[in-house]
Amino acid sequence: MFGVSKGINIDLTTEVAASSFIYLDKSLLFEHVNQVKVDGFKVQTLQPRADLVTVAAHSLYKGQMYTASDYYTFALSSQHYQEALKLAESAHTKFALEIASKLTHDITINVFGPSNPLAEKIESLFRSAGTVNAAASTNRSLHLPMKYGPHLPMRGLLEKILGDPTSRGSLPSALKSAFNPKFFTKLSEHTTRKGY
């Protein structure tokens, strides 16, 4: 293997952002971490409620698509929905969390039918949290990854900008990024891609 060169992409960021737009306040996330041991090393990881909020925010604001990985995160951690909802309200990502949760519910019903434990658990969590439960859509295609239509990310970003001072404060940097000549090419590729 000596003499062989391989290119590796490493994505290092200082903020939870997309094109310099901060869509999640990292200081808020750092308040919700656990330490776990992996091969004898202590590693910090997000608590399940923070993981749900982060996955939902990434899905809507940055990825602009809902993936199978997002589904499994929500399906396996759905019991933390109410805690995540409180955190999402603090992080101004409630809309993103509700969209991802409702998609998880819809996919579960479309794949496993309405009488299954996960769908019933999600419906119960929606009721107890006061979340408006949109009826599952059984007549639309729910193939994953699923791109969000442009209206959902736009609405989510507008609510984020209006409600979150951290996100609003990052707008000048985000606008500066937009003046890069490659920005619109990358944006076009990002919005039209079918998967990761």
Task: Dump pLDDT digits (tens) for 130-159.
Answer: 776 544 454 456 789 999 988 999 999 999
Give the pLDDT score at 138. 47
Between 161 and 191, the more confident residue is 161
Give the pLDDT score at 178. 76
Q: CA 153 from chain center: how many Å? A: 11
Given a contact cutoff of 8 angstroms between Cβ atoms, the answer to whether 75 and 105 are in contact is no
18 phi and psi, to 5 degrees? -130, 120
8 phi and psi, to 5 degrees? -125, 130
Residue 20 has pLDDT above 70, yes or no: yes
135 CB contacts (<8 Å, ≥6 apart)?
none
Residue 153: inside a domain? no
Give the pLDDT score at 131. 76
Between 99 and 132, the more confident residue is 99
Pick from 126-140, 151-165, 169-183 the range whose average pLDDT is largest. 151-165
Under the banding of pLDDT at 50, 70 and 90, the label for residue 169 is very high
Residue 1: inside a domain? no
The whole domain housing 121 covers: 16-148+161-192
Give the pLDDT score at 127. 85
Give the pLDDT score at 15. 79
What is the SS3 assignment for 84?
A: helix
Q: How many residues does the chain have?
A: 196
Average pLDDT, the chain: 85
Give the pLDDT score at 1. 46
Residue 2: inside a domain? no
Residue 30: inside a domain? yes
Give the pLDDT score at 196. 62
Residue 96 has pLDDT above 70, yes or no: yes
Provide the number of structural domains found in the chain.
Answer: 1
61 CB contacts (<8 Å, ≥6 apart)?
18, 21, 23, 96, 153, 156, 157, 160
What is the SS3 assignment for 47?
A: coil
Given a contact cutoff of 8 angstroms between Cβ atoms, the answer to whether 80 and 48 are in contact is yes
Residue 54 has pLDDT above 90, yes or no: yes
pTM of this prediction exceeds 0.85: no
